[in-house]
Amino acid sequence: MSELIPFTEEDKTELARVFGRIAADNGIRIQTCCTNGDYTRYGIDKSGCATLEILGAANGCEFKNLKHKGLREDCHCIKSLDIGAYDTCMNGCKYCYANKSPQKARENYKKHNVNSPILFGELQPTDIMTQEAQNSFIKNNSKQVSLFDN
């Protein structure tokens, strides 16, 4: 997004100060991820965005105490995998890392087949599909909230 002007350190500090005040006034918790800035003085936690604690609270369960390293420098999040495919979303959000080309997304959208095992197009004989290992992080005595529970 060439039209964006990068924030200065002063801009970041002022934004953190204002966001921190608004969050405190409204009982909202803010945390940063993958930043070398420390905004804890404004009530902003630097725990990360997809930690075991945050995901557990959101899903009503407890996770095993797993040793993990973040995905990037200064990241405290657990390992995760993106699902889907690049350049396939038609929403057109300018900040989205998954769409580099709106034109390519439109082309890929036209290839969508609801009966295909992949997001767009057809599985070709030269394609290789692999099953990623799926291991539960949930503690044995913890129950994840179901979408279907009342």
pLDDT per residue over 25-34, tens digit each?
999 989 888 7
Other residues' Cβ atoms within 10 Å of the Cβ of residue 115: 5
State the greatest distance between any 2 C-alpha atoms of the chain, in Å, as a whole number.
58
Residues pairing with 30 in the sheet: 44
Residue 17 has pLDDT above 90, yes or no: yes
Q: Cα 7 to the chain's mean position, in Å? A: 22
The pLDDT tens digits of the residues spanning 61-109 come to 888 887 777 777 777 788 777 777 889 888 888 778 888 888 999 999 8
Measured CA to CA, the distance from residue 91 to residue 81 in angstroms comes to 21
Q: Could you tell me which residue, 10 or 79, shows the higher pLDDT?
A: 10
Question: Per-residue confidence at 18, pLDDT binned at 50, 70, 90?
Answer: very high
Q: How far is the CA of 74 from the CAs of 33, 69, 101, in angstroms?
A: 7, 9, 29
| Cα 112–Cα 114–Cα 119 angle in degrees, nearest 5 | 50
Average pLDDT over residues 47-71: 80
pLDDT over 90 percentage in the chain: 23
Rounded Cα distance, 76 and 34, in Å: 8
Q: Which two tokens stand for residue 61?
A: 């369960």
Mean pLDDT, residues 3-7 taken together: 85
Q: What is the C-alpha separation between 143 and 111, in angstroms, rounded?
A: 39
Place 19 in a pLDDT band, splitting at 50, 70 and 90. very high
State the pLDDT at residue 150.
55
> pLDDT band for position 46 (50/70/90)?
confident
pLDDT at 143 over 80: no
Report how far apart, in Å, the C-alpha atoms of 24 and of each of 12, 19, 49, 57, 145 are: 18, 8, 18, 20, 28
Is residue 124's pLDDT more than 80?
A: yes
